[in-house]
Chain A
Amino acid sequence: MKQKYERPTIRKMNTGLMNKFGTRTDFDPVETIDGVQVKSLVAEYGSPVFVLSEKQIRRNYQAAVRSFKTRYPKVQFAWSYKTNYLNAVCRVFHQEGSWAEVVSGFEYHKALGNGVAGNQIIFNGPDKKEADLTLAVENHSLIHIDHYDELYLLIDICKRINKTAKVAIRVNFDTGVYPIWDRFGFNYENGQAWAAINKIITAENLELVGLHCHIGTFMLSTAAYSVAATKLCDLAMRCKMELQNPVQYLDLGGGFPSTNTLKGAYLPGVDTVPSVEDFAEAITNTILNFGFAADELPLLILESGRVLIDDAGYLVGSVLANKRLSDGRRATILDFGINILFTSNWYDHKISVAKEAGQYTEETVLFGPLCMNIDVVRESITLPLLERGDQVVVHKVGAYNMTQWMQFINMRPAVVLIDMQGKSHQIRKPETLAYLEMMEEIPEYLK
């Protein structure tokens, strides 16, 4: 076989402190995802393309369920739609037994469309439209109230349609992690939450069935969850003892981190982030030891998103060009950028080459394709020498990218799901101009 040509590079001699590991030069290429050739994925679905591994989704879900269910008798997961609401993805979670957690009207309708029973949809968020609330009441969904205005609106709606709503309140509190997410829900420490609970109990058409919190995102401390669980349990106990209204469930929200490395972190995420097991241990021990009677233990609901799907998503892209910057750094321009890889704002994503490369590496800046200065995928990454047309694979991109991506300068690409048998399915077509212009209207005088 003809050997691959590698252009020569000149590298500055680094004479810093010696370390016994040296610079890592072995970069394992990622040639396949779940047994499917990256090359064939690009050939079939174009580049860039998001690839999701159903096997990894299920593996993650089952592992998380295992962590909680082996420690606590009543556990329910609710798939956080905003993390990734492609219907195929949602259905995998629902098939595994997950409920739906939605934060907007269209997500609510998506959940219904995915066959989720009304009483298995949790409706969160500060923005619930009147029509959506009405539908949620009629469907017996679990409505998590965010603020007083919503509470009053809900009371009005229930009175008008003469139905009882099943509600919970979102509670925020100081868990020792800052900033406190006190913009959502009712505060625990200043008594606002308790006041809201009392209002709900006295409201005729509201049934308080649960308590909800969501203390943050990408939480790196398990202790915060212990604190949160303790405070929720305290409220639950007071609901039972003082108001004779025991709640059926505690919803601890989500916020468990994936193993991505946050920007600015010194050590890689894989080595520092607590596992779901650790969070489960902290949460379940707190509830089990709080003092509920064995048959009155509340159902524990979790709304994890990121940790269940992040590492099941890959983004495959191609090199557009190489250049050298004015300061001598190498730069590689890829066909994807922050337009579809929103999370590159947060993480130093791990990026692998898609085929065997030489052992020589170089510090590189990875740019996206946009005509925008901020379109940087990685500010500094050690990569082998790449050429135009070579493929790279970005790891752990399953969460938020396929919901927060934007259609700016470039269209959004296809999303592919590789099933349990290693067969690939396109679950979202690449966008087209027709799609883009579908909603546009041209005033008569411009025609």
Chain B
Amino acid sequence: MKKHLQYYLSSALNSYAVLFFSKNKILGALLFVVSMFEFNAGLTGLIGVMASLVLVTALNFNKEDIKTGLYTFNSLLLGIGFGTFFSFNFTFWLWLSAACLLCVVLSVNLLSLLGKYSLPTISIPFIITFWLVLIAANGYQGMGLVQKSSSLLFELNTGAPTNFAKLCGFFDNLKIPAYALLFFRSVSAVLFQNSVLAGLLISIGVFIHSRIGFSLLLVGFITACLVNHLTGTYPDGVSNYYLGANFMMVSCAIGGFFLIPSWRSYAWAVAVIPFAFLVLNGLSRLLAIYDLPVFSMPFCLITIGLLYFFMLRKNPGKLQLTIFQNYSPETNLYQFLNGQERLKDFQYFHLSLPFMGAWTVSQGYQGEITHKNDWQHALDFVLEDMDGKSYDLPGIKPEDYYCFNKPVLAAGDGIVQEVISHIDDNIIGQVNLEQNWGNTIVIKHAEHLYSKVSHLKKNSIKVSAGDKVKQDDIIGLCGNSGRSPEPHLHFQVQATPYIGSKTLAYPFAYYASGNNTVLKSFAIPTKGETIQKAEINAYLKHAFYFQPGYINVVTDDQANKETWEVFTDVFGFTYFYCRENQAIAYFVNNSNVFYFTRFYGDRKSILFLFYQAAYKINYSTHRVSDCYAVDSENFRPSLWLQDLLAPFIIFTKNTYSNYIKPDNDGLTIHVETKKQVFKHQTRISNAEIYLDSKGIIGMDFIYKNRTLKVKWETGLV
């Protein structure tokens, strides 16, 4: 029962909050309260929401989708609209329920239809439904819907003023600049109201939900006022009827919700206003023929149209669309910035170094010798000794060179596209310009992704065209054929399958650099850099290689116990799920690293501690320094300034670092988290994770003066 109540409450509140692209419960509750200012409208709105909720729940739509409020917020608008436009009578309820049904059907269908193009429906279902109702009611008096006269629309002002009306009146006549009053009135128009108090409360709610969102409301409002002032389009100001909200909502949607907030998105939030004027006025004139109000149609059309327009770009560049919607501009932004650095795993095909051991880049991208123009994104590798020499004396035969005859590997899984292996190795100092590339292998890894190794040793190639190769298979030996005065290995990535194709800048997934002191991920080595494959520590890999079905129990010294199980979601992402408190922590583990990506749920759980402590682990035991995404999901006023400025500058972050020390049988991971504001750092906590040959055995979490010891057991359930 409690679960049901929670579900309905949460879904209903979300239906309110989502009007401002939010899932914030405070905002939802405030909107509900404000809707009740117009009691009739508020009530019908609530009825609309609840009826629709019951309907979609009974019809077994996806509960997670229902909970977002996306199926039902149009019914909320419809209910409020009905209550605002029509007087209560018998037919009112009949047509309200009919319209509600239509609205829900439209919501579900349009969501699915537009969803295929990754586009939102916004309030289109409501607008269509309500237009139909208005047209129908105007044409068929027999339907019995009685429209309130427009003078009655703001009925608060009629009859004997109640205390509440006096309060509203007080706020309406506040001694603050007229533009501020106008702003709040415009905000209240989203709920078909025209009240400063309503606008004020909503504004507070929006601010608590999102500082970026609120600032964009302001940006939209100010720009609209400026445009109006300059052109004189609306002599009575932009809040003319319900129209002002259109501008603000467009700014909000484009500037911060559907795009990742940045100065570019803010620029669009400004630029879109005159555009909105045009659409709004045009539509108004057109709809006036049928006596229809435009409602938020301009906002919907502009938002959807612009989104689609942005989506069709070939390369998103700096103006990024929100791929994963968190219903909070801040979270969207922080996760995006964090993910840009951390989630390259999903961005690139994993290429590994095409050799074993530590090789040195003798010519990098845009090299001075041959890596130019169309072939600028290529790498030449040689083996060097401590003294920087690539050969043993006397260095007159290819065999004197360290790299000659060394195995060359496939950089990734793929199919051998082309092989040349008959070209003679050169005498040292001579080049073969006729057969420039020498003995060469081209491997196709994916569509438009090929890798090529060249200058291999004559007849050393072990594969032929059409063969399947796995990453790190030995495919040939390093040689000195083609345009190669001394033995070296040429490696390049290209988008087309030919020998001699234009090169493509493409990173190696993981490799160790700086004399094996740092692990680089998704980077391109530079000239002079000596790099090698990361050597995997068996203990670490074994301990962190969590597979779906893995179950473990953790108990702390306060006798708290949690059971975690590893699952895979429908998209193939893996996560820990805590049975006791339903917390979820998403993680990635590949051949080189383990790292957490997102945490949902109770931040007092042990899983959250583990999420923070094992935020990133290099299997190669290299030190890790990383940043947590700014945590914007809790109510944290101390972050509000950062939130406001976040699209332009990030000055506060929580950093994560660890180093690993070997024990006699196993090792210890020492973790430190710090808060950094500008350059100033303060320690937040430390943690230690202990593991032996069986896996993780325990963890210590150390706060300012408190230590929590956690024991880790597996195989108990």
A residues neighboring B (CB under 8 Å): 55, 58-59, 62-63, 65-66, 69-74, 117-120, 139-140, 248, 281, 288, 294
Contacts and interface: CB of A to CB of B under 8 A. Distances in A.
B533 A294 contact: no
B407 interface: yes
Contacts of B690: none
Contacts of A66: 357-358, 383, 385, 402
B385 A70 contact: no
Given A66-B358, A70-B357, A118-B664, A294 B385 contact: no
A168 to B, nearest CB: 16
B665 A118 contact: yes
Contacts of B538: 248
Central interface residue in A63, A70, A73, A288, by most chain B CB within 10 Å: A70
A69 B473 contact: no
Contact of A294 (B355, B357, B473, B535): B473
A70 B383 contact: yes
Contacts of A63: 385
Contacts of A139: 664
A119 B385 contact: no
Contacts of A73: 356, 472, 533
Main secondary structure of the interface of A (DSSP, over half): helix
Interface string B387-423: 1000000000000001101110000000000000000
Contacts of B403: 70
B510 to A, nearest CB: 14
B470 to A, nearest CB: 7
What 9 A-B pairs have minimum CB-CB distances, sorted nearest first?
A70-B357, A118-B664, A140-B665, A69-B357, A70-B406, A117-B662, A139-B664, A140-B664, A59-B386
B474 interface: yes
A176 B651 CA distance: 70
A59 B403 CA distance: 16
B617 to A, nearest CB: 19
B97 to A, nearest CB: 64
Contacts of B358: 66, 69
Given A55-B386, A70-B407, A73-B356, 14 more contacts: A58-B386, A62-B386, A66-B357, A66-B358, A69-B356, A70-B383, A70-B403, A72-B356, A73-B472, A117-B662, A118-B665, A119-B664, A120-B662, A281-B405
A70 B663 contact: no
A70 B355 contact: yes
A281 B406 CA distance: 9
A261 B399 CA distance: 24
A140 B662 CA distance: 12
A273 to B, nearest CB: 14
A444 to B, nearest CB: 46
11 contacts: A66-B358, A66-B383, A69-B358, A69-B532, A70-B357, A70-B359, A71-B357, A71-B407, A117-B662, A117-B663, A120-B662
Contacts, number: 54
A66 to B, nearest CB: 6
Interface in B303-350: none
Central interface residue in B383, B473, B538, B664, by most chain A CB within 10 Å: B664
Nearest to A289: B474
Contacts of B405: 281
Interface in B418-467: none
Contacts of A288: 474
A71 B356 contact: yes
A294 B406 contact: no
Chain B, interface size: which category? 20 to 34
Contacts of A70: 355-357, 359, 383, 402-403, 406-407
A191 B256 CA distance: 75
Nearest to B536: A74
Contacts of B402: 66, 70
Contacts of B664: 117-119, 139-140
A62 B388 CA distance: 12
A169 B665 CA distance: 20
B538 to A, nearest CB: 8
Contacts of B663: 117
A119 B535 CA distance: 17
B704 to A, nearest CB: 32
Central interface residue in B387, B402, B470, B533, by most chain A CB within 10 Å: B402
A66 B391 CA distance: 12
A69 B358 CA distance: 8
Contacts of B387: 59
A181 B538 CA distance: 33
Contact of A119 (B359, B472, B665): B665
Nearest to A60: B386
A69 B402 CA distance: 12
B406 A71 contact: yes
A139 B358 CA distance: 32
A142 B130 CA distance: 80
Contacts of B473: 294
A4 B665 CA distance: 65
Contacts of B383: 66, 70
A59 B356 contact: no
Nearest to A112: B664
A292 to B, nearest CB: 13
Interface string B651-667: 00000000000111100
Contact of A59 (B385, B406, B470): B385
A120 B537 CA distance: 13
Nearest to B664: A118
Contacts of B532: 69
Interface string B507-540: 0000000000000000000000000110100100
A316 to B, nearest CB: 24
B356 A294 contact: no
Nearest to B355: A70
Contacts of A65: 357
Interface in B269-314: none
Contacts of B662: 117, 119-120
Nearest to B406: A70
Given A73-B356, A140-B665, A294 B472 contact: yes
Interface string B470-481: 101110000000
Nearest to B473: A294
Contacts of A117: 662-664
A10 to B, nearest CB: 40
A70 B384 CA distance: 12
A69 B530 CA distance: 14
Central interface residue in B355, B357, B406, B535, by most chain A CB within 10 Å: B357
A119 to B, nearest CB: 6
Nearest to B357: A70
Contacts of A248: 538
A63 B357 CA distance: 11
A374 B472 CA distance: 57
A277 B233 CA distance: 85
A256 to B, nearest CB: 16
B402 to A, nearest CB: 6
Contacts of A58: 386
A231 B418 CA distance: 37
A145 to B, nearest CB: 19
A69 B359 CA distance: 11
A63 B663 CA distance: 29
B385 A62 contact: yes
Nearest to A139: B664
A63 B533 CA distance: 18
Central interface residue in B387, B473, B535, B538, by most chain A CB within 10 Å: B535
Nearest to A56: B386
Nearest to B402: A66
Interface in B619-669: 662-665
A140 B406 CA distance: 35
Contacts of A118: 664-665
Nearest to B387: A59
Contacts of A140: 664-665
A269 B663 CA distance: 43
Nearest to A58: B386
Contacts of A71: 356-357, 406-407
